[in-house]
Amino acid sequence: MAISSLFSQEQSNDGPYDEPVNDGQICPPPGQLSFLDKLPAEIIQDIASYLSAPDLACLGATCRALVDHASNDFLWANLVNKRLPAPIQNPGPFESFRRLYLAYHPCWFIPQHKIWFADTEHTGMLIIARYDSHRGVIEAHQVVAERGTAGFQIWASNPEVIIQSFEPSVHLALDNPVLSLSDPDPSSRKAPIQSLHYMPEERRMILASDARNIYTSLSFCSPFSPRGPCFKPNLLWPPRTIPSRARTVRDLKDSAPPIVRHPSELSETFFRVRKWGNPWANPELQLSPVSKKASLTYSTLDPVLYTPTAEKPYQGIWVGDYEAHGCEFLLLLQKEIRDLAHDDEKEAKVIDAEDEVEHDSQEDIGQRGTLHAVKLTGDSNVPRGQSSFIAEDIGPRGLVSVAMDEPFVGARIVRCRGHVAGLGFLDDTYIDSQLILISHDHMALYWKQIGHVSYYHRVDIDALMHS
């Protein structure tokens, strides 16, 4: 619901009972009541509960009678909690929820979407963003994984293949936040941002690296318009391998993206983090022109892509063992297959994860369709954004066998293709492999031509959020 009137001033941020700022807009004559003033207070509050933050601010700027309604902290608490995975009961170090909301406008979408991945060349980066209600800060930390102590297993049916066990420790790098937004003075009644329509080009962040004269700022992105000029695929983020309703232009040396100048241009599925240094303050810094200007672009993931369901129990975020490259994170997409001709196996259509498919039988539910593993983080051979492996059909058509011996007793083994490449992603190709479906949270990939088995484990996102 939107408020549309000539009285579109915005309320001052100095406090709930301060006079609205007169910005030159037309005001109602003294003593004249709008139709809203004639309604019971309960009805006005109910109407106001449907408003966005900018509309609520405009409502409070229309007349003195509506200032109290628009400043009701219960309404602002709802606006804050709509942006958080788990609601909070009090504004923490801030005097009100209204003051808290204004402190981090328009950044609330960052903890709301929580999972973000970056376009760092080759390696990428996976981070989780959260709002800390005790300290009153929005922070994002890199998700890291450690392989741990490895043991060795022997596959009885393939004794020539020696398997290295994999029990990764996945956690957040809490001592080095990637993003940190804080209010310089939460006790102040005046928020740093004086207008909900104001669009800062960048927002400085205070991090530990400031002591080394390396500074960090946050900026916003606009979605890529298909009506614009054609772009090479590597200039857009996220890559085409990851389903997304919108994409944006990466910030590269030769493809500077447009600057977001108005809230209507902002996309809540992207943001950028830029680092730069002051070589005059620290002569030891050796920064290239690119490192001074370029920034990392982060994109979020639609929860439908990483939330498992009864029909798609394997989809989610996984961590895999990539030997010398270490642990890497994958987005596992499980897609349905709808037959177009029952007597021809080649005629099948892959349906996107969001599509609903009716099945004639509920037998083996979840054990069918395509499994496509896309790298959220990568390496210099197969970088982030590329496919790691594809199992075209984990159902009867792709079934090789059911394992009868250790360490995979009872696991379904299906045909798969593993993605390999030379250094710099040269001469990439897919090789015959077998995907071993141990459980909905564990699997292994047997790279037949290499004679190697890699393990994969599901990442517990909820545990990371509460760590």
Walk me through the domains of the chain, giving residue ranges and CATH numbers.
36-104 (no CATH), 108-144+174-184+200-300 (no CATH), 303-341+367-466 (2.40.128)
Instruction: Return d(Cα 142, Cα 178) in angstroms, integer.
Output: 7
Signed CA dihedral, 67, 73, 79, 83: sign only:
positive
pLDDT recorded at residue 458:
98
Cβ neighbors of 371 (< 8 A, separation 6 or more) are 314, 332, 333, 334, 389, 390, 391, 394, 416, 435
pLDDT of residue 287: 47
Q: Could you say which DSSP state residue 55 is in? A: H
- The b/e string for 184-213 (b: 16+ C-beta within 10 A; e otherwise) is eebeeeebebebbbebeeebebebeeeeee
The DSSP bridge partners found for residue 139 are: 130, 180
State the pairing for strand pair 412-422/387-391. antiparallel
Query: What's the gap between Cα 221 and its chain centre?
Result: 14
Per-residue pLDDT tens listing for the chain (467 residues): 443 333 333 334 444 334 333 333 445 555 555 677 778 888 888 888 999 998 888 888 887 778 888 889 999 999 999 999 999 999 999 999 999 999 999 999 999 999 999 999 999 999 999 999 999 999 999 999 999 887 888 898 888 998 999 999 999 999 999 999 999 999 988 887 767 878 888 899 988 777 778 889 999 999 987 665 566 778 999 999 999 999 999 998 777 788 898 888 999 999 999 988 876 655 554 544 434 456 999 999 999 999 999 999 999 999 999 999 999 999 999 998 764 444 444 444 444 444 433 444 444 788 999 999 999 999 999 999 999 999 999 999 999 999 999 999 999 999 999 999 999 999 999 999 999 999 999 999 999 999 999 999 999 999 999 98
Kindly list the distances between the CA atom of residue 275 and the CA atoms of 127, 217, 288, 289, in Å, as whole numbers in the listed order. 17, 7, 12, 12
Between CA 238 and CA 384 the distance in angstroms is 10
Among 120, 125, 145, 143, CA closest to 327: 145
| Structure tokens given for 423 | 């250094």
What is the per-residue pLDDT across 290-339, written as a single tens digit (0 to 9) for each? Answer: 344 569 999 999 999 999 999 999 999 999 999 999 999 999 999 987 64
Sign for the pseudo-dihedral over CA of 113, 105, 251, 176: negative
User: Which residues are registered as beta bridge partners of 162?
Assistant: 154
380 DSSP 8-state letter: S
Give the per-residue pLDDT at 230: 60
Alpha helices in 175-318 (DSSP H): 289-293, 303-306
Q: Look at residue 382 in the predicted model and tell me its pLDDT.
A: 98
**DSSP H helix total and E strand total for the chain:** 9, 23
Residue 380 CB-half CA count within 13 A: 4
